[in-house]
Structure 1
Amino acid sequence: MNISFLVNITSKAWSLKILALLHTGTPGRQAPLLAACGASRSSFTASLNHLAELGLLERNPGHGHPLRPEFKLTLAGEIAASMAHRIIDIVPNDEAFDVIRRSWAVPVLAVTETPQRFSSIKTGLVGITDRALSQSLYLLEDHHWIKREIDVTERSPRPIYQAINTGKAINQAINLELSM
């Protein structure tokens, strides 16, 4: 799994939660997944369809009603679900889960294992805008998941960002899969 695929997975708010639930044995039918997820029906459906489009889920043939199909993880989905389960287990509460539901939070944590400048984070996350990166860094710093320090060794001082605390644990859970 590469970083662009991680960005793709996390682009829908409930994708990680759905994958983690399927990994832990929640039935692949829409009703139990929706109830366990706590998402709105439209957000849940968008995330479920997104995961199917990415090839992480597939319809389980012969099971479920045509309007309420049953889904199962594909081989690639099992790998992603394992990672999602590790990430969800690290998150201590609902407030913290709201942070990782944001589109760029998890990918930003994935690339900040070592101290990184803003520009190198942006380079590592193709497609992220300056504003989205700034907001993600601010949010993660506010929750003490990213540490911001000023590097004064260069001619013009620049901020350096690195994952810490819960952010470091999430980074390690992600990088375990990215290295495979």
Structure 2
Amino acid sequence: MCGIFGYIGHQQALPILVEGLRRLEYRGYDSTGVAVEHDGTIQTHKTVGKVADLKAILPEQVPGTLGIAHTRWATHGGVTQVNTHPHPSYDGRVHLVHNGIIENFQQLRKGLAARGVECVSETDSEVLSHMVALGLEKGGTPLEAVRSMLRRLRGTWGLCILFKEHDLLICARNGSPLIIG
């Protein structure tokens, strides 16, 4: 079980993301992280531990009005910094947070390796950001890339995806709770 949170609006995203994590902390105490986009750059901050541990390492200001956040209860992979969400894609264009279990992630991981994309974490979630990035690399729009990735999944998911070159978040769910509003 994990808690995911996204924000897109006119206010600075970081304080809103941290407050969202605080409210979702009961969904995972192992690690927590945020990613905020501003002018084509994504700043990611994450740590093993609780939301208070994340707050302790955050800079005073992280500009940006678009971001995603995650609090983790480890299911695939140990409680380590590298397994902490958000997971960036191999090229840094996509950042993703995930709640659920991708049953066929080992098969997907092997397919990525055959294309020269190596995963650095032990999680089932990381493969998803790489798959979306490959869809973008092939010339797809963000929505097309996400749809292509979703068609290949078996399992449950609640996802929130942040794009470096697009001012949008894409969220999707299958069997996991996800509230948008």
TM range (shorter): under 0.3
More helix by share: 1
TM-score (norm 2): 0.27
Larger Rg: 1
TM-score (norm 1): 0.27
More strand by share: 2
